[in-house]
Structure 1
Amino acid sequence: MDIYGGQDPRDIPSYSAGDAARYLKIPASTIRAWTVGRKYPVNDGHKQFRPLIETSVKNPLRLSFINLIEIHVLRAIRQDHNLDLAKVRTALDYIDEQFKTPHPLAHQEFYTDGVDLFIEQYGLQINASAQGQINLKNLLTAHLDRIEPDDRGLAVKLYPFTRNQEENNPRLVAIDPRVAFGRMAIEGRGIPTDIITERFHAGDSPEQIADDYECEVEKIQEAIRCETRPIAA
């Protein structure tokens, strides 16, 4: 039985801005700015900045798994680099033009050739020093390493950061649109992390929950951690 009606589950708009914020640890207001756009002041009033990431449902905003991947990668581009959003838009348009593929930030081609092209074309706008470009590449690599592509190169699974990016981030939880209807779940088991966390907050210990699900306590603890770690300001 095809529960998705023939549609690729990666393209189904399943996530609210709040879901994405909780999973990716990015403020919902930032996600809305990137996916809906934002107003900014000019001398004669305001202008609307068009979104960096295209979504199929904007009112109310709903995001697909592919959108989550794009937001995850875009965070690396923006993090620690005070790059004007208009320049980011120019960079993404350039990547679109080069690869001729929908959602290039979610595609294996970007993970290989695209990163170097991006830095070659826009690295000097981000930071005039070679070290700044190296830092950007390292950030992008760290984010891209958390993405698993399918045999066609398109992202199919995301291992979100559950801790600070400087820490070891084990791959114990994942977002897979084919598992648990795309909810974040324990890798290999498909147990949604929010269900585990609800039980924990209701008074069950990680050991009790692990016993009920016949799952390692470490995975239960990681599920609780990733659902309760604060979202960055």
Structure 2
Amino acid sequence: MKHQRVEADPLFAGFYSTSDAARLLGLSGTVKLRGWLNGWPGSASGPIVERDFKSTSTVSFLDLMEMRFIEFFRGQGVTMQTLRKAAERARNDWGSDHPFALSKAKYLTDRRKIFAQVAEETGDKVTWDMASGQHEIWLTIENIIAKGVEFDPETELASRWFPRPSEFPTIAIDPKLAFGRPVVTGPGVPTAALFRQWKAEAGNSKKVAAWFNVSAADVDNAVEFELQTAA
């Protein structure tokens, strides 16, 4: 398996603060994200995510994708202990720094097996029931997590994410564009830039569209996206 390393070209890794990450994941605060990234003060338990930019507070795109995975499983009742152990085991077994950002197509069975093994060891009945039960249940979970995510065919890692594919099918997050900020696909214009200009033009979408060479619909979608995801 080939690995996607930040060191190869850090400019294409995506750059986010924990506040940015919370906003994009639809979370109200950053406390738990900081715990997943750095561990918890006064606790011997370390972080769950093997961060790309370890010497800074910056979050990479793949870090963000792993936190999205963790947030979903936490919502299903999976314990922090299970998630931490599963991440450690998957990193070792698969040789990937970001096992929770890997394609379900290739790692569906292996990921399910790892979670079942860890759940049995930790006595996590909720996760054991999910991972050891009917295959369809786990497949449904993986499908939900993978929704809106595109994967690199070589590395099998997430490469682009449409955070709200049903509402905003043309707005994506691609670490190779605008340092990973949300953009309108096609022209690749950041939604934040369109939103700022829209405010400067007193809400005149046509003027903004002409300025950035995009459609008025692109401007309206970018504005609505920024308003809905505002911190």
The TM tier, using the shorter chain, reads 0.7 to 0.9
In the alignment, what sits opposite 2:203? 204
Give yes or no for the alignment of 1:84 onto 2:71.
no
Q: Distance in 1 between matches of 2:207 and 2:128?
A: 50
Matches of residues 1-233 of structure 1 in structure 2 within 5 Å?
A: 7=9, 9-11=11-13, 14-26=15-27, 27-39=29-41, 46-57=42-53, 60-79=56-75, 81-108=76-103, 112-118=108-114, 120-121=116-117, 122=119, 124-126=125-127, 128=129, 137-152=139-154, 153-161=156-164, 168-202=166-200, 203-230=202-229
CA displacement at 1:133 relative to structure 2: 8.5
Maintained 8 Å contact 1:18/1:28: yes
Separation of aligned partners in 2, 1:38 and 1:231? 27
Aligned-residue identity in percent? 22
Deviation at 1:19, TM superposition (A): 1.9
Distance across 1 between alignment mates of 2:164 and 2:107: 18
Q: What CA RMSD, in Å, does the superposition of the two structures yield over aligned residues?
A: 3.3
How many equivalent pairs are there?
216
* Structure having the larger proportion of residues in helix: 2
Question: What are structure 1's unaligned runs of at least 5 residues?
Answer: 40-45, 163-167
Q: TM-score, normalized by length of structure 2? A: 0.76
Indicate how the Cα distance of structure 1 residues 133 and 151 shifts in structure 2: closer, same or farther if over 3 A, else same. Answer: closer
Structure with greater strand percent: 1
Cα distance in 2, alignment partners of residues 160 and 25 from structure 1: 10
One-letter identity of the residue aligned with 1:208: K
Rounded to whole Å, the distance in 2 between the matches of 1:149 and 1:187 is: 16
Cα displacement (A) at 1:192: 0.6
- Aligned-partner residue type, residue 144 of structure 2: A
Shift of 1:135: 6.0
CA shift at 1:127, angstroms?
Answer: 7.1
Residues 101, 6 of structure 1: alpha-carbon distance in 2 compared, 3 angstrom cutoff: closer
Flag the 1:135–1:108 CA change in 2: closer, same or farther, 3 A: closer
| SS at structure 1 position matched to 2:159 | strand
Displacement of 1:6 after TM fit?
5.2
Partners of 2:56 and 2:228 in 1: how far apart? 26
Deviations 1:87-127 (Å, cap 9, x if unpaired)? 21122223224323221222226654344335544484337
Residues in 2 aligned to 1:73 and 1:229: alpha-carbon distance in whole angstroms? 22
User: What are the ranges of 5 or more consecutive residues in structure 2 without an aligned counterpart?
Assistant: 1-5
| Kept after mapping to 2: 8 A contact 1:147/1:159 | yes
Kept in 1: contact 2:159–2:175 (CA 8 A): yes
1:219–1:138 distance in 2 versus 1, CA, 3 Å: farther
Superposition deviation, residue 183 in structure 1: 1.8
For residues 181 and 18 of structure 1, what CA distance do their matches in structure 2 show? 16
Aligned equivalents of 2:44 and 2:209: distance in 1?
A: 49
Task: Return 57-66 or 194-203, whichever deviates more.
Answer: 57-66
Structure 1 pair 195/7, CA: closer, same or farther in 2 (3 Å)? same
Give, in angstroms, the shift of residue 35 of structure 1: 0.5
Listed one character per residue, the Cα deviations across residues 66-92 of structure 1 (whole Å, up to 9, x for unaligned) are 11121122222222x232211211222
Give me the whole-angstrom Cα distance separating, in 2, the residues matched to 1:120 and 1:6. 34
> Which TM-score applies when normalising by structure 1?
0.75
